Amino acid sequence: MQNYLPDYKDASFQIQISALHANTKVKVSVPQMGFVQERTLGAGEGTTIQMPSDVEIYGSQKSSKTVLIEATQEVMVLSLNSKLYTADTSLVYPVTKWGTEYYVFTPSTSPLGTFEEFSVTNHKQRNTVQIFPRVPVRFQGETFIPGSTINVELEPFESLQIQSYNDLTGTRVLSTLPVAVSSGHTCTWRFSKCNHVYEQLLPVQNWGKNFLLAPMRFQTRYDSVYVQASQTTQVVIKSGGQDKVMLLNKGQIEEFRIEMNNGALITANQGIQVLYLFNGVRVSGLLMYDPFLMTVLSTDYFCSSYTLNGQAGFDNKALFLIRNSDLPGLRFDNAPLPSNVQFTPIGGSEFSWAEVPFKAGFGQHSASQPTASFGVYSIGVSQMNGYGAPALCGQSGGGPSPPSCSSITCSTDQECQMKDGYPTCVKKRPSGTCWAMGDPHYRTFDGRYFNFMGTCTYIIAKNCQANDGLPPFEVETHNENRGNIRVSYVGLVTVKVYGVTINVARSENGLVRIDYSLYRLPVVLKQDKLKLFQRGQSVVIETEFGLTVQYDWESYIVVTLSGAFAGKVCGMCGNFNGNPNDDFATPSGSQAPNAVDFGRSWKVFAFSYL
């Protein structure tokens, strides 16, 4: 996003990457600019990619100069946006952590000629974004007032930026497909000179309920903590021996002032967004440190190991938040903490906090506690400057992760397939749709229609070549009579995927059973790879690899499958090979003479109705 003024002095836009595993190949590119940089990193090794200055967006507009970061194995990524005396950092989250709903936060203090701003970045498919502004904004030559909607179509790898002289806080962003949203200010101030601040936000689905905060020891006045809700939410803040209880409405945000030596514990009965704004400080005479913005992560995001990037020209500090009982096992740069590091308890919790200085360098500093999770923030200050962000959370040991399709990005007309154990982009084949409805009528992936009245459990679709690199899955239906023994209807849908079993029963609207435990929708599992939610009158079970199952809790089931599975599936939906004439294949591979024999061949004999 825009940092202070266009073409200001000493611009430096960096992508800082740390590898978790050996022989990790990394590619950073801006396709629209023809910019490409590639590196091969060892386990624990870091690198910095200096980006061309033209990637910066000025004003409220779209941009096709989106930076694409690809790696063959998991990496940790930090961005630095720096100009003379104005800089900040942010974690860069992988696309698997993106979402479809966000609430914007922008600092409200704006020196003359500076802007509050946020950006939206799209992935590899055309996407529709809706923005609900809280103040008047201009975008693409049109003025939008509060209560209006900005509808934007984003092409693959396209971004947009919106700026305003007014506070954009509370602006809601919705999208059809997941996007990334970053938020900040071109140059904000309170107790010092102004500084560019920004942070990539977490989507509403990834907000948390429990947070720990620590003040900056070099702040002599106060910093600001902002708590934001997406629905009616009760929030309790414990700090300095006092409890503050707030009831927030949808989109409402409240400021809490955190002072020297007083940490804070924040709890909520619904997910909330928490952001920390260091307000800057005049230390003495002409020495001052400028503001920075950080996302405060919930305790659910705490890790057992971290990598820290120290920025050149800053006094870099690691801010630790850890349970008192776990302090003896805490190590920094593979050694116990220095004896002069003093931890301060956070009232009302089992945690304490401390600041530990460290030198500049990327991927060279680590923090770990082998038996416990804890929190770390990486911050830095210098004359008229400052930066801050959560530290890079990683895995310690464990060896390289196997290559997968999540490690590469294909063009819009391609899809990823595993070839000889490696992800490869191939020309995309159209997806297939199969359904069963009524009493019941069937349509296979290849378009063959037939009727089958069985009243048992049947395999609708499954991956019959699970050893080819595509994930195994199985979809089953249990058919039942409803007052007429001559017809049957779908009464239960079972989906087996990612090692879990999901049951959706006709009588349990709004609910699903996952491994025999009852859950209310929505549910997200397996690191966002498996999503269960309600759309209209139907439950939707959606996987990362292209399987979608919809069931209306009555008699209608729809199975949609990525073209990558063409010719590799079996069941009552057929083999998805483009030929409807051979869709009556039985488990043995032979063709059944009629629909009755075909359906009976896919009967599941071991079944227990829940």
Where in 158-314 does DSSP place strands (E)? 159-164, 172-188, 195-200, 208-213, 222-229, 233-239, 242-248, 253-259, 264-278, 281-284, 287-289, 292-295, 305-310
Task: Report the pLDDT averaged over residues 22-36.
Answer: 94
Q: Let me know: does 310 contact 318? Beta carbons within 8 Å.
A: no
pLDDT of the residue at 285: 81
pLDDT at 536 over 90: no
Number of residues that this document lists for the chain: 610
Secondary structure of 53-118 in HEC code, one letter for each residue: HHHCCCCCEEECCCCEEEECCCEEEEEEEEECCEEEEEECCCHHHCEEEEECCCCCCCCCCCCEEE
pLDDT at 467 over 70: no
The side-by-side arrangement of strands in the sheet containing 331-332 is: 335-336, 331-332, 361-368, 305-310, 392-393
Query: For 260-271, what is each residue's pLDDT tens digit?
Result: 889 999 999 999
Whole-angstrom distance, CA of residue 106 vs CA of residue 159 = 18
Task: Report the pLDDT averaged over residues 449-455.
Answer: 89
Query: For 388-442, what is each residue's pLDDT tens digit?
Result: 999 999 753 333 344 555 545 566 667 676 665 556 677 777 889 999 987 778 9
Assigned token pair, 530: 């498996």
pLDDT of the residue at 396: 39
**How much of the chain exceeds pLDDT 90, in percent?**
77
233 or 564, higher pLDDT: 233
- Per-residue b or e along 510-539, where b marks 16 or more CB atoms closer than 10 Å to that residue's CB: ebbbbeeeeeebeeebeebbbbbebeeebb
**How much of the chain exceeds pLDDT 70, in percent?**
92
Cis before 522 (ω within 30)? yes
pLDDT of the residue at 361: 82
pLDDT of the residue at 530: 94
- Among 105, 74, 40, smallest CA distance to 392 is for 74
Q: Ramachandran region of residue 370, left (φ > 0), alpha (ψ -120 to 50) or beta?
A: alpha
pLDDT at 486 over 90: no
Q: Ramachandran region of residue 22, left (φ > 0), alpha (ψ -120 to 50) or beta?
A: beta
pLDDT of the residue at 106: 97
Query: Is the dihedral angle over the CA atoms 189, 192, 194, 196 positive or is it negative?
Result: negative
Task: Report the pLDDT averaged over residues 105-130.
Answer: 94
Q: How confident is the prediction for the chain on average, in pLDDT?
A: 90
What φ, ψ does residue 568 adopt, rounded to 5°? -120, 10
Neighbouring residues of 409: CB distance < 8 A, sequence distance ≥ 6? 68, 70, 123, 124
> In this structure, which amino acid lies at residue 571?
G
585 or 430, higher pLDDT: 585
pLDDT at 542 over 80: yes
pLDDT at 565 over 60: yes
Taking the chain, what is the end-to-end CA distance rounded to the nearest angstrom? 52
422 or 515, higher pLDDT: 515
Assigned token pair, 235: 């929030």
Q: How confident is the model at residue 110 (pLDDT cuts 50, 70, 90)?
A: confident
- Per-residue b or e along 367-400, where b marks 16 or more CB atoms closer than 10 Å to that residue's CB: bbbeeebbbbbbbbbbebbbbbbbbbbbeeeeee
Whole-angstrom distance, CA of residue 180 vs CA of residue 99 = 7
Q: How confident is the model at residue 240 (pLDDT cuts 50, 70, 90)?
A: confident
> In this structure, which amino acid lies at residue 326?
D
Q: Let me know: does 182 contact 118? Beta carbons within 8 Å.
A: yes
Whole-angstrom distance, CA of residue 493 vs CA of residue 287 = 66
